[in-house]
A and B are shown apart, each in its own frame.
Chain A
Amino acid sequence: GENVEQHPSTLSVQEGDSAVIKCTYSDSASNYFPWYKQELGKGPQLIIDIRSNVGEKKDQRIAVTLNKTAKHFSLHITETQPEDSAVYFCAASIRDDKIIFGKGTRLHILP
């Protein structure tokens, strides 16, 4: 069935370095790809999203890239800070049909 695979499951980076999280989706009809950040005991919060007619989107230190041919999209966080420590989820959706979430990446920012 349809699936979204997210890697890595855990990522530790030194403060100030970059972090990259990658997701691969199976349904080529997917056309909306959001990324959510979840802090402990809280609900997820949207940090950036991209639609299938765009290849890249950037918002300050956060960027997302989409490769429709390879069916993968990635989250890039530059100049990481302690407050970036959280669990990050990707998702792929098809309007009026479905949304599927990845299993999450726990990001640790090391001092």
Chain B
Amino acid sequence: DGGITQSPKYLFRKEGQNVTLSCEQNLNHDAMYWYRQDPGQGLRLIYYSQIVNDFQKGDIAEGYSVSREKKESFPLTVTSAQKNPTAFYLCASSIEGPFNQPQHFGDGTRLSIL
């Protein structure tokens, strides 16, 4: 079955450490997205990519970085510069983008600080 796979499901970060969240899709979608979800809040866009080797900052990109070397993969790195990284992170993709097509979401990675 086609879909989006996020790993790991849970991740713990120590102070000063960078961590990378994985996102893989086999839907052959061009566009991919990363969102952050905090309790009681809507989804906030971190980064998005319309095609391979291209990505754009979203509303809350500070302290995060991404790469898009393959169509199927869009990893997110949470750097030590992100002072409040505890959140639920969601990856999504759409057949084309950005923003005006249905998005397919993974089941998220929950990041916590040790």
Contacts and interface: CB of A to CB of B under 8 A. Distances in A.
Contact of A44 (B59, B90, B101): B90
B42 A101 contact: yes
Contacts of B59: 98
Interface in A67-106: 89, 91, 93-104
B31 to A, nearest CB: 11
Contact of A89 (B42, B99, B107, B108): B42
Q: Size class of B's contact patch?
A: 20 to 34
A46 B94 CA distance: 11
B8 interface: no
A93 B33 CA distance: 14
B103 A46 contact: yes
Interface residues of A, number: 28
Interface in A21-69: 31-32, 34, 36, 41-46, 49
Main secondary structure on chain A at its contact with chain B? strand
Given A31-B100, A44-B90, A103 B41 contact: yes
B43 A44 contact: yes
A104 B42 contact: yes
Contacts of A98: 45, 59, 99
Contacts of A91: 42-43
Most chain A beta-carbon contacts within 10 A, residue among B100, B101, B104, B107: B100
Interface in B15-69: 40-45, 59
Contacts of B106: 43
A79 to B, nearest CB: 24
